[in-house]
Copies of this chain bind each other. A is one copy, B any other.
Amino acid sequence: MSQPVDSAVDAVRTYIAQHRAAFLDDLVEWLRIPSVSARPDHAPDVRRSADWLAAKLKETGFPTAEVWQTPGAPAVYAEWPSADPDAPTVLVYGHHDVQPAAREDGWDSEPFEPVVRGNRLYARGAADDKGQVFFHTLGVRAHLATTGRTTPGVHLKLLIEGEEESGSPHFRALVEQHADRLAADAVIVSDTGMWSEDTPTVCTGMRGLAECEIRLHGPDQDIHSGSFGGAVPNPATAAARLVAALHDEHARVAIPGFYDGVVELTDRERELFAELPFDEQRWLNTARSHGTLGEAGYSTLERIWARPTAEVNGIGGGYQGPGSKTIIPSSAMVKLSFRLVAGQDPEHVQKAVRAWVPGQLPEGIRCELSFSPATRPCLTPLDHPALQSVVRAMGRAFETPVRFTREGGSGPAADLQDVLGAPVLFLGISVPSDGWHAPNEKVELDLLLKGVETSAYLWGDLAEHWRHAP
């Protein structure tokens, strides 16, 4: 199944080998900028990171590279039109901000003084997400150099935001504001990972997210559990019974209407998931969990990738300190998050939750519900021509069959899908051991260069197999 090594591959690899050192020097320079969006004292660094990237993209050859201000941290936008007006337009998404990091968190070296140990580059942001943004710069240059083009095979756009690690609070508004310039036939997100070093994979979807806080009110104040216990409704008990009622005996979500519209897994997709070398015990180690539990009739991978969920993120009520306090609490709260899959409408789910909760409560317990802004799910059809191109490009680079995954989490990519009306694809080369958000974050240099190589093949493959559909 491995791709034959052809002369184009030889050319790309030679080009990359020639430019590897300079590419890594540049990346190291960028990684030295502690662009921690969560910390106000690092705001100048986040701005410096944006400026650095915009300058570097110009140097790479992008005719347009701009820093886009937001009410928070700036994003970087770059554009390199193809000479072929009918070429498809591809928007690459990533981010230049990073998670906080300090040596004393358990780093073996300074998080913002990148260092190569073995075949790994250690630095905060090495994998999440500067390394994965940056491989496209050498990728597009390799694409041009090895094909003799002066412009990319596709209209190439980049949007690299600066607040992803802070929850992207201004991202949707930014995309809406610049929707015309960002218009694309497909979005390629380079902020994800692969199954493992040995198993290159393409992610075909992310779950959506609807979050809800439910506050339950019982007695007007905490009351004595001796004087009144056993005779009045207890909001902590009501909260517990509400949570217990969330799932039926098959661990299916029991809220009527919750599953409305869910796109069921096809047999083909289930086969593709089953092809992955999944080791449940290893996965449990990663999860730090001591057991599996989920919807009956689905495998663990199907549960986290392709099935919607209801999870309790927090529950609280009454006295939680040391010792005891014999009260019936006045109130209790539950924070729920619902992961959504393709076909589910977050607003419909919110309505279903709103309609369901009051009926679960005894008389004398009043509820208040509030929802955070929801994130839609996204799913790329397996037969989408752009997805086929990504798979072919990765296959050429990795010389091994590319498999399919999905992502259980949710992300700002869904905003791009929503606002731009374009399918979202995922091209990431990070592996689970890269330590996102953790001490000693690193990127595997071999994989990073495979990312460059994939990028180099991708734009030509897209140009060859896909046209802009007006």
Interface, chain A (partner B; CB < 8 A)? 207, 209, 211, 213, 218-221, 223-234, 236-237, 239-247, 284, 287-295, 300, 303-304, 307-309, 311-320, 323-330, 332-335, 337, 339, 362-366, 372, 407-410
Alpha-carbon distance A313/B226, docked complex (angstroms): 11
Partner of A409, one of B224, B294, B332: B224
Partner of A304, one of B228, B287, B410: B228
How close is A292's CB to chain B, nearest CB, in angstroms? 6
Q: Are B363 and A311 in contact (CB-based, < 8 A)?
A: no
How close is A304's CB to chain B, nearest CB, in angstroms? 5
Query: Closest residue of chain B to A237, judged by CB?
Result: B312
Q: Are B291 and A363 in contact (CB-based, < 8 A)?
A: yes
Q: Are A293 and B324 in contact (CB-based, < 8 A)?
A: no
Write out the residue numbers on chain B whose beta carbons fall within 8 Å of the beta carbon of A234: 311-312
Write out the residue numbers on chain B whose beta carbons fall within 8 Å of the beta carbon of A317: 312, 314-316
How close is A154's CB to chain B, nearest CB, in angstroms? 30
Given A221-B288, A324-B213: A315 in contact with B362 (beta carbons within 8 A): no
How close is A234's CB to chain B, nearest CB, in angstroms? 6
How close is A394's CB to chain B, nearest CB, in angstroms? 22
Write out the residue numbers on chain B whose beta carbons fall within 8 Å of the beta carbon of A407: 226
Q: Are A335 and B320 in contact (CB-based, < 8 A)?
A: yes
Alpha-carbon distance A294/B407, docked complex (angstroms): 46
Q: Are B315 and A236 in contact (CB-based, < 8 A)?
A: yes
Partner of A333, one of B288, B320, B337: B320
Partner of A225, one of B290, B303, B315, B339: B339
Q: Are A219 and B318 in contact (CB-based, < 8 A)?
A: no
Write out the residue numbers on chain B whose beta carbons fall within 8 Å of the beta carbon of A232: 284, 287, 289, 291-294
Given A228-B287, A233-B291: A337 in contact with B332 (beta carbons within 8 A): no
Query: Closest residue of chain B to A307, judged by CB?
Result: B230
Alpha-carbon distance A289/B227, docked complex (angstroms): 12
Q: Are B219 and A287 in contact (CB-based, < 8 A)?
A: yes
Write out the residue numbers on chain B whose beta carbons fall within 8 Å of the beta carbon of A284: 232
Q: Are A320 and B312 in contact (CB-based, < 8 A)?
A: no
Alpha-carbon distance A247/B238, docked complex (angstroms): 11
Given A326-B209, A339-B230: A293 in contact with B225 (beta carbons within 8 A): no
